[in-house]
Amino acid sequence: MDRRLLDILVCPVCKSKLRYDAEANELICTVDRLAYPIKDDIPLMLESAARELAGTPSENVPATLVSQPRAGVSQ
């Protein structure tokens, strides 16, 4: 996957950055939990072509993106 292309592509649903999964040959949106396939080096950026990722949203979102309570702030 061309790094320049990856830098400009975003999720068509939520406009978030995508993560490239080389092993599965997919672009992953951790926000919407969707995996967009890459066929013949062409990303299929259609919601209808994406597959839903299993698990809860927090399992697929990096820990740095999960909302954490701030120190000294009560909820």
- The tens digit of pLDDT for each residue in 19-54 reads 999 999 999 999 999 999 999 999 999 999 999 998
pTM of the model: 0.70
Task: Spell out the domain ranges in the chain.
Answer: 3-61
pLDDT of residue 71: 43
CATH of the domain spanning 3-61: 2.20.25.10
Reduced to 3 states (helix: H, G, I; strand: E, B; else coil), residue 74 is coil
* Average pLDDT over all residues of the chain: 80
Token digits of residue 29: 């949106």
Please tell me the predicted confidence (pLDDT) of residue 59. Answer: 53
> How many residues are listed for the chain in this entry?
75
